[in-house]
Structure 1
Amino acid sequence: MSTVDLDAPYRVNPRVSPEALDHRCEHREGCSLGTPDVVRIVRALAMHATARDALDSAEFSQTTRARVVAALEHLAATGVIVATP
């Protein structure tokens, strides 16, 4: 499993349609945490310079943040999100 570098920029893989992403996360089919928090952060990645900035903007509790980071790890490992140069 790859490790998400929180100080790197990430985006949804262009090969993944927004509809497929919503379906996978809402139905826990590729999201280790199928919650609106994960969907919100994945969508926010494109609006922030780094994954950490996206997470910081959400102001999650430590527990929720840890769960969202675990979900991002899974999404990166399965190619749903990708680091951008």
Structure 2
Amino acid sequence: MLHERWALSGSVALRPEPFGALAYDFTSRRLSFLKSPRLVRVVESLRESQDVAAALTGAGVPEEQWPQYESALRQLADRGMLTSRGSQS
């Protein structure tokens, strides 16, 4: 996933909260909690980033924390909150 391109799904809206954000999918009506402001920054920067690794770097996520963030992003992708933009060549 680190070298893949992802973006917030077009049917998903983020609502900022003190703990991070609520992500609501208007198509599936699913609600997800993004439990850290830094994770919100990563998710918001995915569309403009070269890949997930670049989004993590840009948000200032220490490399030793990348596995936890990758796991959170995979869960969001599995729930349809994120959509693939293809792999980076």
TM-score with structure 1 length normalisation? 0.71
Q: Structure 1 stretches of 5 or more lacking a match?
A: none
Q: Which of the pair has more CA radius of gyration? A: 2
Match of 1:10 in 2: 6
- Structure with the larger RCO, 1 or 2 (CA within 8 Å, 6+ apart): 1
TM-score with structure 2 length normalisation? 0.69
Q: Which has the higher helix share?
A: 1
Aligned residues: 76
Q: Structure 2 stretches of 5 or more lacking a match?
A: 25-30
Q: Which has the higher strand share?
A: 2
Counterpart of 2:7, as a letter, is R
Trace 1:1-85 onto structure 2 (pairs within 5 A): 5-19=1-15, 22-24=21-23, 30-31=32-33, 34-85=35-86
Identical-residue share of aligned pairs (%): 21
- List structure 1 runs of 4+ shifted beyond 6 angstroms: none
Shift of 1:60: 2.0
